[in-house]
Amino acid sequence: MPPQSQSKKSHHVCPWWLAYTFDNSLRRMVHPADKTLAPYVRPGMSVADIGCGFGHFTMGLARLVGPQGRVLAVDLQQKMLDKTMARLRKAGLADRAETTPCRAERLGLSGPLDFILAANVVHETPDPAGFFAETAESLTPTGLLYVMEPSFHVPETQFQAELDLAADAGFEIAERPTLTGERCIMLQLANRKARS
Ligand SMILES: C[S@@+](CC[C@H](N)C(=O)[O-])C[C@H]1O[C@@H](n2cnc3c(N)ncnc32)[C@H](O)[C@@H]1O
């Protein structure tokens, strides 16, 4: 087996059926999507939920951007996207959302985006450096990238290594939000003034 670099170490993708265990009413209490994202997402914004799973946070994003906004829900697994779209339709929010399949090493985002959420997904990507480079490219100069990783699964050292890769891609820390059971960071582009 070839040696793997820090940015391309082995990864495990959450199977679609496991989403039933964490996207439920308890999660909605512990991680209320609207309240968690409301400080950063305003009506009319273009936003993305990368690795959307069953759409826990996509639903909150769709409510927050309002009818003039746009939400891209991106995932590797079609079953995740289908479930997310079914929930959006049921809630009458499908008109402002789009589900987009991606490849493990390429998100294929269509920007510019005002806000990107990466909830519990960076540790599953085979190329976090590429992930941060692509998200940096897709943001508006003042855009934000919210990374959260499960604390029980991603140790502090691994999270810090991810942040180092984000810094290499041109991100700097904007804020350290807190959320139960998650390691969280809000990132902004370090050269945002030059880009605007
Ligand atoms: C642990 S789940 C989290 C789902 C959701 N963000 C949440 O917090 O409820 C991780 C999700 O990321 C997706 N995923 C894994 N690797 C990915 C990649 N390289 N690009 C996009 N999505 C990916 C998986 O298919 C899965 O839906």
Q: Which domain holds residue 158?
A: 42-195
Q: Give residue 32's pLDDT.
A: 96
Alpha-helical (H) ranges within the chain are 19-22, 25-30, 33-37, 56-65, 78-90, 128-138, 156-168, 192-195
User: Which residue's alpha carbon is nearest to atom 27 within ligand 1?
Assistant: 53
Q: Is the CB of 120 under 6 A from ligand 1?
A: yes
Query: Which ligand 1 atom is the nearest neighbour of the CA of 53?
Result: 27
Strands lying side by side in the sheet with 139-150: 97-101, 70-75, 46-50, 113-119, 139-150, 182-189, 171-175
Q: Does residue 33 belong to any structural domain of this protein? A: no
Q: Does residue 129 belong to any structural domain of this protein? A: yes
pTM: 0.93
Number of domains into which the chain is organized: 1
Q: Tell me the C-alpha to C-alpha distance, in Å, between residue 196 and each of 14, 70, 140, 190.
A: 37, 21, 8, 12
Q: Does residue 17 belong to any structural domain of this protein? A: no
Which tens digit of pLDDT belongs to each residue from 141-160? 999 999 999 999 999 999 99
Which tens digit of pLDDT belongs to each residue from 10-19? 568 888 888 7
Which tens digit of pLDDT belongs to each residue from 86-134? 999 999 999 999 999 999 999 999 889 999 999 999 999 999 999 999 9
Q: Does residue 132 belong to any structural domain of this protein? A: yes
Q: Give residue 1's pLDDT.
A: 31
Q: Does residue 134 belong to any structural domain of this protein? A: yes
CATH classification at residue 110: 3.40.50.150
